[in-house]
């Protein structure tokens, strides 16, 4: 069984983060601004569709990053290939600290481990600026779908369709691995511009099963428009009481351990990062700006109104988690290859 001890560590307390920021920023944002960033434009690449969860976090954060950097922060959605087009663009960007990204490290890890076509980055070389939150995934079914329970999905009279933004991202691999463990014949339906469009397509009838973050699904669950079936997480969400963990209902212990490992990698979901080669002093400024944003009371209040959780992990801790993930993840490679083969 893979061991991911770092994934179940809690993020540092707000008090520790606040103390760090006090040292970094002095008496306030005005004292914090690096002269390099004053009056500059920072491009924030989001390799996910507009209106989705990643886009919501990025655009809300951008306004506060501007305050701490003294720069204009422009969000740019660059979609396609499960997010890898935008990530490739960021990786090739001039390492001057004026281009950063916000995306899913699990998706990048899975893409790299599976040898996905067109990847031009190395996950090990990204400069993490901070993890915003790690949202667990929930497998659900639309209220009007043909199958309404796990038993019905297992005994479906044909392949079960799942709309996805692309083959090879973390949502794809999580869904395919869980489905294999449960003995469900899942067929991905792809070609959508981002996860939010794929999810909407499923609600329109393009699929019988859905996979998305809990934060993106909760309102629809509460409204009765979708029914949660399983959680893909190391620990149950308090928002989904009574919904079992996928690893708990998979009878094969080897497959259950793989599902736990996949859930563990998700601890790095929704992170800010920069391309390799950015000068260290600029990285320090960017990391401090991200940390300050995540502690800003106005930002936290806004995210609460949007129904979006914040569970900040500083850059040094997130970087250690990434190192551990990459050191242990090779055992997943054959399973990822099988998932890709099954999708062809």
Give the pairing type, strands 160-163 and 186-189.
Answer: parallel
d(CA 232, CA 214) in angstroms, rounded, equals: 10
Residue 185 scores a pLDDT above 70 = yes
* Architecture of domain 8-134+268-330 in this structure: 3-Layer(aba) Sandwich (3.40)
8-134+268-330 against 137-265+333-343: fold identical: yes
Residue pLDDT, tens place only, 80-114:
887 899 999 999 999 999 999 999 998 899 889 98
Q: Is the pLDDT of residue 263 over 90?
A: no
Contact 97, 69 (CB under 8 A): no
Q: What is the pLDDT of residues 134-151, one digit of tens each?
A: 878 999 999 999 999 999
Round to whole Å and give the CA distance between 113 and 98: 29
Residue 312, sorted as left (phi over 0), alpha (psi -120 to 50) or beta, turns out to be beta
**Does residue 343 contact residue 172 with C-beta atoms inside 8 Å?**
yes
- Under the phi-then-psi rule, with left for phi > 0, alpha for psi from -120 to 50, and beta for the rest, what region is 276? beta
Domain boundaries, the chain: 8-134+268-330, 137-265+333-343
- Label residue 16 by pLDDT band (50, 70, 90): very low
How confident is the model at residue 215, as a pLDDT?
Answer: 81
Give CA–CA dist 289/61, Å, rounded.
10
Question: Tokens 């083959």 identify what position?
Answer: 167
What is the distance between the alpha carbons of residues 317 and 327, in angstroms, rounded to a whole number?
A: 16
Q: How many other CB atoms are there within 10 angstroms of residue 205's CB atom? A: 13
Confidence of residue 250 (pLDDT cuts 50, 70, 90): very high
As a CATH number, domain 137-265+333-343 is: 3.40.190.10
């Amino acid at each position: 069984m893979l061991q991911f001890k770092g994934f179940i560590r809690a993020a540092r307390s707000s008090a520790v983060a606040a103390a760090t920021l006090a040292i970094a920023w002095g008496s306030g944002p005005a004292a914090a601004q690096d002269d390099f960033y004053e009056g500059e434009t920072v491009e924030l690449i989001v390799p996910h569709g507009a209106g989705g969860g990643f886009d919501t976090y990025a655009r809300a954060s951008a306004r506060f990053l501007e305050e701490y950097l003294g720069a204009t922060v422009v969000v740019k959605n660059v979609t396609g290939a499960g997010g890898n087009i935008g990530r490739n663009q960021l990786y090739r960007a001039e390492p001057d600290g004026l281009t950063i990204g916000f995306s899913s490290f699990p998706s990048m890890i899975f893409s790299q481990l599976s040898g996905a076509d067109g990847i031009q980055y190395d996950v090990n070389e990204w400069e993490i600026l901070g993890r915003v939150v790690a949202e667990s995934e929930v497998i659900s079914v639309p209220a009007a779908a043909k199958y309404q329970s796990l038993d019905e999905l297992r005994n479906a009279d044909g392949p079960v369709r799942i709309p996805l933004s692309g083959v090879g991202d973390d949502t794809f691999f999580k869904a395919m691995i869980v489905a294999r463990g449960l003995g469900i014949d899942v067929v991905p339906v792809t070609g959508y511009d981002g996860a939010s469009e794929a999810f909407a397509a499923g609600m329109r009838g393009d699929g019988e099963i859905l996979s998305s973050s809990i934060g993106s699904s909760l309102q629809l669950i509460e409204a009765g428009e979708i029914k949660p079936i399983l959680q893909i997480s190391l620990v149950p969400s308090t928002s989904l009481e009574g919904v079992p963990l996928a690893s708990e209902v998979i009878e094969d212990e080897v497959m259950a351990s793989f599902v736990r490992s996949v859930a563990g990698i998700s601890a790095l979901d929704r992170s800010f990062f920069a391309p390799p080669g950015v000068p260290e002093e600029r990285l320090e400024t960017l990391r401090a700006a991200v940390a300050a944003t995540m502690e800003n009371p106005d930002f936290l209040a806004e995210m609460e109104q949007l129904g979006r959780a914040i569970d900040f992990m500083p850059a040094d801790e997130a970087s250690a988690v990434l190192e551990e993930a990459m050191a242990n993840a090779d055992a997943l490679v054959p399973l990822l290859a099988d998932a890709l083969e099954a999708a062809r």
